[in-house]
Structure 1
């Protein structure tokens, strides 16, 4: 389980090797993504609070990167943070999220990116629930929910 100390260490020293890499030109990304997805993921934008598709979602499944389809977050780690963005306590694997120091807008934060395609996801903060204490504050436009089918009761 990652903690804030792990996030800071990774932001300062580099992320683990991703499961794979996917690189495309900006023109290729623009063809594949909606304007909002492109703005958020490729231009490091932020959707308005409480407007994202997954802010209030409670369906079971995995949240995959909107750009490359890599599973990033499990719905079982999603929680109501009251911030207006979907929030998670952990990525599904230690090597799928890249952490990067972000000093934009006169603040120091830690940016969360897809480690496979470098898509901006959002930011991570040390004010989440136990046991990790992490709040990965993620833009809905940066992910898509891949629902899982529960086995039928017998």
Structure 2
């Protein structure tokens, strides 16, 4: 089993470092990320820091949901290039904060750049739920948790057993 780093672990507040080349250690982290995505039914995204690696890699797959999406994405060194001014507020949860959910406002649409598994630069436009998940995971790479963005900031919801 791959252990998930949980809040209040200080690792979650650290800045992840850029990947300079795709080598066996990077591929190993990616294998672990995809394992976590598949293992947890409700998991739609995971960042390397959440499994103890301070590198800029995220895995996202919202295809388990009813939302339109791009399928499974493995993103190395992801950067958001543009954000829409229109926001949506969604209820977010996190494997690193397993007992709570909170409402977070995020841009409804983003354009981002990342490196794929083949080392090629990709540009992606994501909307709605997929955009939210990608932003949530990129926040992890910068040491930011959804807890830091809850609106209103005093509202935190205790997770129930059947919440996903």
> Which TM-score band applies after superposition, normalised by the shorter structure?
under 0.3
Higher relative contact order (CA 8 A, sep 6+): 1
TM-score, normalisation: structure 2: 0.24
Q: Give the number of the structure whose residues are more often strand, by fraction.
A: 2
